[in-house]
């Protein structure tokens, strides 16, 4: 015989159903190519719509959540934050255990909460809020309210009764979960996302020495240059050529047949000599003079 649920259990299920349905309200659209989302999401034309109760983990670059009510939440590198929205969609809660977040938005009558393992930050409107909250590896917590902020942030200890108000343009560091002995506006400190590493190629280009100016070209000598450093491989031939217009082949044919061994170069000095004298022809009167002379 199948078991039956008690009446109070059935009623509890129906009572929880509207709460679960209303809890899955959209918080904003995530714009990042390497961020991971755990929870309920829907695909949108411009990005991924994150629903209430989802966790966003940024990768090697910050991830940006465009809030539906207006403003942004920047999730810095290596930070995992859970975002939740009230049923009225006016109040938001951000919770994270390490890393840094950078909220920036305007509140009307809404009130947001940022929860960390050591503190609870209450942001109450109306006002403009542009601030950073970060947790260092040593456990210290920093809060930086930027100059454009017009409202304060109330800081409450999770394990104590200490309370602190961060005013606009203040930079405060809390040590070991307590508001006592807080450092206000310490010099040389920062609380936002760490700077992105410069690619190795850009670093090499930035550190490369300045190029030296090209040397001025020197005039080349008119004499034939030395081809090889070894004198044994440098051959200079002084070979006379006799040009005869009546006897082929021409001089160019003879030059083309010159063969040089071992890749050595031969520099030729052709000399043009006059053609040989032609023998004198002896006519009839020459023969008659020779006859009387004999």
Which segment of 37-46, 60-69, 106-115, 209-218 scores lowest on mean pLDDT? Answer: 209-218
CA distances from 284 to 237, 279, 291 (A): 50, 16, 11
Angstrom distance (rounded) from CA 191 to CA 143: 7
pLDDT digits (tens, 9 = 90+) for 126-143: 999 999 999 998 899 999
Task: Answer yes or no: are the C-beta atoms of 48 and 28 closer than 8 Å.
Answer: no
Handedness of CA 78, 84, 89, 91 (dihedral sign): negative
Q: What is the location of CATH 2.60.120.1440 in the chain?
A: 22-184
- State percent of the chain over pLDDT 90: 47
pTM of model > 0.85: no
pLDDT digits (tens, 9 = 90+) for 235-271: 333 444 444 555 555 544 444 443 444 454 444 455 5
pLDDT at residue 227, rounded to an integer: 45
Handedness of CA 281, 284, 285, 291 (dihedral sign): positive
pLDDT at residue 240, rounded to an integer: 46
Which residue in 158, 148, 113 sits closest to 133, CA to CA? Answer: 113
CATH topology of domain 22-184: Jelly Rolls (2.60.120)
């Amino acid at each position: 015989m199948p078991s039956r649920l008690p009446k109070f259990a059935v009623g509890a299920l129906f009572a929880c159903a509207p709460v679960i349905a209303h809890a899955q309200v959209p918080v904003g659209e995530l714009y990042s190519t390497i961020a991971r989302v755990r929870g309920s999401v829907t695909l949108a034309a411009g990005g991924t719509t994150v629903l209430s109760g989802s966790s966003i983990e940024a990768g090697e670059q910050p991830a940006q959540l465009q809030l539906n009510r207006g403003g942004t939440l920047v999730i810095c590198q290596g930070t995992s934050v859970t975002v939740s929205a009230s049923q009225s969609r006016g109040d938001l809660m951000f919770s994270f255990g390490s890393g840094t977040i950078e909220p920036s938005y305007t509140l009307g009558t809404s009130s947001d909460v940022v929860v960390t393992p050591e503190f609870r930050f209450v942001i109450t409107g109306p006002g403009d809020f542009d601030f950073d909250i970060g947790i260092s590896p040593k456990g210290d917590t920093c809060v930086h309210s930027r100059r454009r902020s017009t409202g304060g942030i109330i800081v409450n200890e999770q394990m104590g009764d200490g309370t602190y108000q961060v005013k606009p343009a203040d930079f405060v560091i809390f040590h070991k979960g307590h508001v006592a002995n807080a450092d206000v506006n310490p010099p040389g400190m920062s609380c936002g996302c760490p700077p992105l590493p410069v690619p190795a190629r850009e670093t090499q280009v930035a550190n490369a020495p300045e190029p030296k100016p090209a040397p001025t070209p020197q005039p080349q000598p008119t004499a034939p240059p030395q081809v090889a450093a070894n004198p044994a491989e440098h051959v200079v031939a002084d070979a006379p050529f006799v040009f005869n217009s009546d006897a082929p082949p021409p001089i160019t044919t003879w030059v083309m047949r010159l063969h040089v061994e071992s890749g050595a170069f031969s520099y030729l000095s052709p000399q043009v000599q006059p053609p040989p004298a032609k023998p004198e022809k002896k006519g009839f009167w020459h023969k008659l003079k020779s006859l009387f002379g004999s």
